[in-house]
Amino acid sequence: MAKLLPAALEKLIDELGRLPGVGARTAERYAYFLLKADQHINASLSTAIHDVHALVKTCPVTFALIDADEDVSHLYSDSDRDKQLIAVVEEPLDIVALERTGQFKGTYHVLGGAISPIDGIGPDQLHIPELLKRLVDDEVKEIIIATNASVEGESTALFLQRMVVDAGISVEMSRLARGIPVGVDLEYADQITLTHALEGRRAL
């Protein structure tokens, strides 16, 4: 079939199609939007995409994302954060979700994923040794394992717990509560969530 769209537009559609969850139709829609948009919109999106690697780096202590000109995450260095309490998360964006609650005053540790043999991610790819070091260095009293509620997240939590025990480090460990999310009707809750909700029931 002959070429139906200008080469530059085809190219843009292909490139946009690499974004996660973006199929051919969605990529076409984005590309057509950008074609009709003012050049200043394209220019700033283009620059933001090009520069993000150079302007963002990983905190050497917590592995959170920080500005390239920062030394360490302010969520670690701020004096009002409790360094003896660590929430362990899989990905940097999980920190944003927890911070939005406004309820957590400790510090964070990003593992950089979860153990997943299918994706070829073993414990060695995760920032576990650095966490064990922090537990000792900062005399940490409690860690909240806030990995995802997936099979991988659960395995990672169990593995981490064993690593801490095996290292002979004494620290309180907990996992985020499982239960029925706010606003969800009981009849729509899945069986496993409901089982967790029963097990974790709280006295009134």
Where do contacts with its own copies occur on this chain (CB under 8 A)? 1-9, 11-12, 15-16, 18-21, 26, 28-35, 37, 39, 41-53, 55-57, 65-68, 70, 74-75, 78, 91-93, 95-96, 99-100, 102
Residue 66 has a CB neighbour count (10 Å cut-off) of 20
Considering the complex, state which of residue 24 and residue 184 has its C-beta at the smaller distance from its own copies: 24
**Which residues make Cβ contacts (< 8 Å) with residue 149, sequence separation at least 6?**
176, 178
In the bound state with its own copies, the residue whose beta carbon lies nearer, of 30 and 159, is 30
Angle at CA of residue 33, ends 30 and 35, nearest 5°: 110
* Residue ranges in the chain assigned as alpha helix (H): 7-16, 24-36, 39-55, 74-77, 92-101, 128-137, 151-166, 191-199
Q: How far is the CB of 193 from its own copies (least distance, A)?
A: 21
Structure tokens at 175: 């996992």
Tell me whether residue 104 or residue 164 sits nearer to its own copies (CB atom). Answer: 104
Residue 53 or 202: which CB sits closer to its own copies?
53
CB of 164 to its own copies, least distance (A): 27
E strand residue ranges, 32-128: 56-58, 65-67, 82-89, 106-110
Least separation in angstroms between residue 60's CB and its own copies is 14
CB of 66 to its own copies, least distance (A): 6
